[in-house]
Chains A and B, each alone.
Chain A
């Protein structure tokens, strides 16, 4: 079945630092890949997506590239702000799975001033 693996543990970094959150996936078909962000007490918001190999999703300074050869979709941002503090989830879905999303466990990101 489909699954998503995110790096373990929270991420704490200083403002303006470079952020990377690793995400790898296992899927039988050709999934679409997503990053969702969850701010405290809120639901998930779609941050960016990529629907085929080599696509790059980008939004609000965040980027992720769909790498089929390494089955990865790592999230990056060049210069984080305190307002980027949130939980970030990597997810995938595919047509065979009725569009349902399979999520990674999420990474808590804390940006300190």
Chain B
């Protein structure tokens, strides 16, 4: 059973370009979470999605950032018009349905975004 897959592992963008980060959850997992890790910081929650539905986007910046998890294909985190402050590691995690309790999240290896 493959783990959570993220690609690319490293992404370099110039200021003003768009960044697209992909996440394929573990088989059987229908829930995806995105976290951002700034240098010397812990991970910060960004968004929580189910297939075709955003459940919680309370951690997403109000502008330039969007996320989707379509019926088919990976979850995408999209950053428009990137700025240097967007340079960070972006981690995706997946879990099975919550079923009213707390469930473990399984993390991918992350995408390291560098904005030049």
Instruction: List residues of A whose CB falls within 8 A of some B CB.
Output: 4, 6, 32, 36, 41-46, 49, 51, 89, 93-95, 98-106
Contact = CB atoms under 8 A, between A and B. Distances in A.
A43 B91 contact: yes
Given A99-B33, A103-B44, 17 more contacts: A4-B42, A32-B102, A43-B4, A43-B91, A43-B110, A44-B107, A46-B105, A89-B43, A95-B98, A95-B102, A98-B55, A100-B45, A101-B35, A101-B45, A104-B42, A105-B40, A105-B42
B69 interface: no
B18 interface: no
Contacts of B44: 103
B25 interface: no
A44 B4 CA distance: 11
B109 interface: yes
B96 to A, nearest CB: 11
B95 interface: yes
A74 B56 CA distance: 29
B56 A100 contact: yes
Contacts of B105: 46, 99, 101
Contacts of A45: 107
Nearest to A42: B109
A93 B102 contact: yes
Given A45-B107, A51-B102, A100-B33, A106 B42 contact: yes
Contacts of A44: 43, 91, 93, 107
A32 B108 CA distance: 21
23 contacts: A6-B42, A32-B102, A36-B107, A43-B6, A46-B105, A51-B102, A89-B42, A93-B102, A95-B101, A99-B31, A99-B48, A99-B95, A99-B98, A99-B102, A100-B56, A101-B45, A101-B93, A102-B45, A103-B42, A103-B44, A104-B42, A105-B40, A105-B42
